[in-house]
Amino acid sequence: MTGIIINQLEALLESDSRLITKASQFSSFIFNSFENINWAGFYFFDGIKLILGPFQGNTACEMIEISNGVCGKAFSKAMVINVPDVNVFPGHISCDCNSRSELVIPLIKEGKIFGVFDIDSPICGRFSSEEKLFTVLVEIFSSHVEYSDRFSPVFAAITGDV
């Protein structure tokens, strides 16, 4: 099953070179390929804070300070953060009251962090058995993004840096 998912993702990401298209397709792929996920999406770093990018699920926080919440902590420490129960995570930002667990994976290309991918679930402990798989999938996404895309007009439009 894992091999099939990776092959599907590789094919999906090779079909277009634009960051916004890849990010949109990736968030939809994750949201629709796995059970018990109620939000999957990107926050891109604009040089100051994390800015909402393409996602699937309910509406979300538009901006997150890098010192706040699970996304901010994952970004500032450049590490995967798996929160089995968001109700016990100090400083958790609740965008969807139905979310019970969260997995945030940094987006790293050429040693530079450019955002995070955030996945929420209505089930406590949802990501404990698949953390490594989701991390690999995000690494595959990052490998298909040209770091120069960060400076493209699309990226600038996503982050508001126009």
Q: For residue 21, which amino acid is it? A: T
Residue 132 in contact with residue 18, Cβ under 8 Å?
no
Beta-carbon contacts of 3 under 8 Å, excluding residues fewer than 6 positions away, are: none
Structure tokens at 104: 């945030």
Query: By the 8 A CB rule, do 31 and 154 touch?
Result: no
In the chain, how many domains are there? Answer: 1
Half-sphere exposure of 135 (CA within 13 A, CB side): 12
Q: What is the span of the domain harbouring residue 104?
A: 2-159
Within the chain, how many helices (H) and strands (E) appear?
5, 6
- CA dihedral sign, ordered 75, 77, 81, 83: negative
Q: Determine the pLDDT at residue 15.
A: 75
pTM for the model stands at: 0.88
Say what the pLDDT of residue 162 is: 43
Residue ranges of the chain with per-residue pLDDT less than 70: 1, 92-93, 96, 147-162
Angle at 66 between CA 61 and CA 68, to 5 degrees: 65
Give the chain's end-to-end CA distance (angstroms, integer). Answer: 42
**Which CATH number does the domain housing residue 6 bear?**
3.30.450.40
